[in-house]
């Protein structure tokens, strides 16, 4: 499995501001994903980050609110824009590696609190 890091690990933000979360992998991966986990809830897929092209968003998530970049095969960012308290969640990235095309491995997550 790959070693995945996320920055920041946690943050407290004011409503109306934006936060960019970084996901870095120690090796090239085939696919990268972003999930949201609201307090006490399960994980919900936000989007698939595509290298060199626009992300593929799930129903209920839009690019204007959650812009995603993936400039290369080891790095992706998720921005949470114009935040409100309802955006308070854990945000996790996950990856598929070329050696494991059917099992996702997760980063440590970013805990976001919006006041």
Distance of closest approach, residue 69 Cβ to other proteins, in angstroms: 19
Distance of closest approach, residue 31 Cβ to other proteins, in angstroms: 6
Residue at token pair 């935040």? 83
Q: State how far the alpha carbon of 46 is from the alpha carbons of 40, 59, 75, 99, in Å.
A: 17, 8, 17, 24
**Tokens of residue 85, six digits:** 């308290």
**Binding stretches for other proteins (CB under 8 A):** 1, 31, 33, 41-43, 45, 48, 56, 90, 92, 94, 96, 101-109, 111
For 96, half-sphere exposure in the C-beta direction (CA atoms, 13 angstrom radius) is 11
42 vs 53, beta carbon nearer other proteins: 42
56 vs 82, beta carbon nearer other proteins: 56
Q: How far apart are CA 10 and CA 38, in angstroms?
A: 14
The SS3 assignment for 8 reads coil
67 vs 109, beta carbon nearer other proteins: 109
81 vs 97, beta carbon nearer other proteins: 97
Distance of closest approach, residue 22 Cβ to other proteins, in angstroms: 16
């Amino acid at each position: 499995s790959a070693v995945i890091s996320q920055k920041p690990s946690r943050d407290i933000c004011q409503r109306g501001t934006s936060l960019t979360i970084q996901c870095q992998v120690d090796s090239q991966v085939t696919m990268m994903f972003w999930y949201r986990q609201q307090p006490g809830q399960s994980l919900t897929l936000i989007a698939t980050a595509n290298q060199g092209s626009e992300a593929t968003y799930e129903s209920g998530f839009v690019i204007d609110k959650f812009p995603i970049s993936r400039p290369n095969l080891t790095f992706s960012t998720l921005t949470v824009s114009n935040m409100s308290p309802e955006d308070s969640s854990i945000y996790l990235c996950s990856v598929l590696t070329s050696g494991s095309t059917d099992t996702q491995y997760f980063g440590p997550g970013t805990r976001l609190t919006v006041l």
